[in-house]
Structure 1
Amino acid sequence: MAGFADQIAAWSEKTREKLETAVRKIALDAFTEVILMSPVDTGRFRGNWQVAIGNIPTGTVEIDDKTGTATIGKVQAETLKLQAGQTIFLVNNLPYAQALEYGHSQQAPGGMVRLTAQRFTPIVDAVARELNKG
């Protein structure tokens, strides 16, 4: 029979793993929402969402991603590396990104990031419900 210290260590490890799963899922869900809400003409804007842990990406990328599939795939790969306590960034460095966020697109008149930020609590709640099922 495991001692009390072993039980606490096991509980602590399980809790850390569950927390990291939650943090990863929340980041992925929020970032996916931003990407899919991004207006699409050529796909350049949607393809320029960049994700990184611990540092803010600079520059732009030359990817046209009308569906968002490739961009979301990159986000998913990066969020799998995320650990609790780390900072993850999603940025779009195209010169017109700020204009699109502040309504210069009929496809996204309310922006993308601001609307997703308003939905952050429901995103967290949905992830918590999902993780508490199992």
Structure 2
Amino acid sequence: MAGLDEFANRMSRISVEVEGGVEQAMKDCAVAVTRTVINATPVDTGRARSNWTAELDQAFQKLFPAHVPGEKGSTATANAEIAIERAEAAIEQFDIGKNSSIHISNSLPYIGALNDGHSKQAPADFVKLAVMDGLATVRNAKILKD
């Protein structure tokens, strides 16, 4: 029986390691998507960049004014930095034992038009490109340590 107990203990340790590896991969993917999508979002007043949010278990439904209001993209970097910082703080709270998902969303009514290429500042489908960047980030994730 010692062999079976040892095997059960080893499997239990591996399951904890897998859970931790999956949790970290989810966080890494969400951070990559967040950074890419925020930085790719076209900027005029800063409102579109400011409305990207990360929430656990459900999408954020409200709207924000620009974190740092501006004109003609004058506050693009400042709004991106604040939005990324806030999103990363939410993502860091993800716990695979308590949460089921990380939602990265933007509730602005015109975010779809921007993603469709309405602005010459960003290519169409910049959201899809950000998701692909997130997937590339975790493609070779180490779920189990050697």
TM-score class, shorter-chain normalisation, is 0.7 to 0.9
- Asked whether 1:14 is paired with 2:12, we answer no
Q: What SS class does the counterpart of residue 124 from structure 2 fall into?
A: coil
Which structure has the larger Rg?
2
- Which consecutive unaligned segments of at least 5 residues does structure 2 have? 69-75
- Asked whether 1:95 is paired with 2:98, we answer no
Partner residue, 1:35: 38
| Number of residue pairs matched by the alignment | 132
Deviation of 1:41 after TM superposition, in Å, equals 1.7
| 1:48–1:61 CA contact under 8 A, matched in 2 | yes
| 1:47–1:71 CA contact under 8 A, matched in 2 | yes
Structure number with the bigger relative contact order (C-alpha 8 A, sep ≥ 6) is 2
| The one of 66, 70, 76 aligned to 2:88 | 76
Percent identity of paired positions between Structure 1 and Structure 2: 29
Task: Give the partner amino acid of 2:60.
Answer: P
Deviation of 1:97 after TM superposition, in Å, equals 1.0
Task: Give the partner amino acid of 2:102.
Answer: I
How far, CA to CA, are the matches of 1:58 and 1:25 in structure 2?
Answer: 23
- Which consecutive unaligned segments of at least 5 residues does structure 1 have? none
| 2:115–2:127 CA contact under 8 A, matched in 1 | yes
